[in-house]
């Protein structure tokens, strides 16, 4: 009996399993829906599907550099007990290495192993964010992973032009510590800037600040707001007397990625 996409979709809706598992179940049972449903239960996949609705707020992150490319991969689960288990951590490390070497689409090769881990560990487990950065000519890429309880919880990758791997690594450490949202001021959405400007103006007026100095006070507070969010304007974590832009000097940051487990 030919298995159609409609059959696969119907079984997915009935059991909550993934597309590949639904297709596999139907193929193993000649397209018989009832038999395929029973087969999924026997395999432990139907019960695993029920877990898919549970919140996966824990997990582990890996950041791997491979030549001029770097990848960050997050894998999510429900508890820190599972997140720091050897099989969980080793799998996310392996996925990140594959993505760094081959590209983001490489995660597809791990679908069966993630599904198997879900069944074995009896938690809602899934691949979360996947990022890959590549350095061009005259650029270096570096990574940093902040470890906690034997697993990575913060992963950073950064591409720097016109400087050394050591400088790029220092910037990555800073990013992990200060968690910027944007690279440069121009990247902040205008609607957010306008809203913050209106807020600090209202605060300043409510404080009874003199009208003559009001523009200066508003700009000062707005600059402080930017410093919290914009990487190049943040005080460098190892020397807060200079900003990241000043630390870099003639060098520049091409791109960066930051992944924090559960955020």
Q: How many CB atoms lie within 10 A of CB 223?
A: 12
- Residue identified by tokens 């200060």 is 178
Share of the chain above pLDDT 70, in %: 92
- Residue identified by tokens 């881990």 is 117
Domain formed by 189-229, architecture: Orthogonal Bundle (1.10)
Mean pLDDT of 193-198: 93
What CATH class is the domain 58-184+234-260? alpha beta
* Element of type H or E holding 83: helix 80-83
- The predicted-structure confidence for 43-64, as pLDDT tens digits, reads as follows 666 555 555 555 557 899 999 9
- The predicted-structure confidence for 4-42, as pLDDT tens digits, reads as follows 877 887 777 667 677 788 888 899 899 888 888 877 766
Q: Is the pLDDT of residue 1 over 80?
A: no
Averaged pLDDT of the chain? 89
Structure confidence at residue 254 (pLDDT): 97
Domain residue limits, the chain? 5-51, 58-184+234-260, 189-229
pTM of the model: 0.77
Structure confidence at residue 234 (pLDDT): 98
State the Rg of the chain over Cα.
Answer: 24
- The predicted-structure confidence for 97-108, as pLDDT tens digits, reads as follows 999 999 999 998
- The predicted-structure confidence for 197-236, as pLDDT tens digits, reads as follows 998 899 888 888 888 999 999 999 999 999 999 999 999 9
Dist. CA 8–CA 52, nearest whole Å: 18
- Is domain 5-51 given the CATH code 1.10.8 in the classification? yes
Structure confidence at residue 56 (pLDDT): 58
């Amino acid at each position: 009996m030919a298995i159609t996409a409609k059959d696969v979709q119907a079984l997915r809706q009935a059991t909550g399993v993934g597309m590949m598992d639904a297709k596999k179940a139907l193929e193993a049972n000649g397209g018989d829906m009832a038999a395929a449903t029973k087969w999924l239960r026997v395999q432990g996949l139907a019960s695993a599907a029920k877990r898919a609705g549970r919140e996966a707020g824990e997990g582990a992150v890996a950041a791997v550099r491979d030549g001029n490319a770097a990848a960050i991969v997050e894998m999510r689960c429900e508890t820190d007990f599972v997140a720091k288990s050897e099989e969980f951590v080793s799998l996310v490390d392996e996925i990140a290495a594959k993505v760094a070497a081959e590209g983001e689409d490489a995660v597809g090769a791990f679908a069966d192993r993630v599904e198997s881990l879900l069944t074995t560990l009896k938690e809602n487990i899934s691949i979360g964010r996947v990022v890959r950065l590549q350095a061009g000519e005259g650029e270096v890429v570096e990574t940093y992973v902040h470890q906690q309880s034997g697993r990575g919880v913060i992963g950073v990758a950064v591409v720097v032009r016109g400087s050394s791997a050591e400088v790029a690594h220092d910037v990555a450490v800073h990013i992990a510590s200060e968690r910027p949202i944007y690279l440069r001021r121009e990247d902040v959405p205008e609607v957010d800037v306008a809203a913050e400007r209106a807020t600090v103006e209202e605060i300043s007026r409510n404080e009874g600040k003199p009208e003559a100095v009001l523009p200066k006070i508003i700009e000062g507070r707005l600059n402080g707001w930017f410093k919290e969010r914009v990487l190049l304007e943040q005080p460098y974590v190892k020397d807060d007397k200079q900003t990241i832009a000043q630390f870099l000097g003639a060098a520049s940051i091409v791109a960066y990625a930051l992944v924090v487990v559960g955020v």
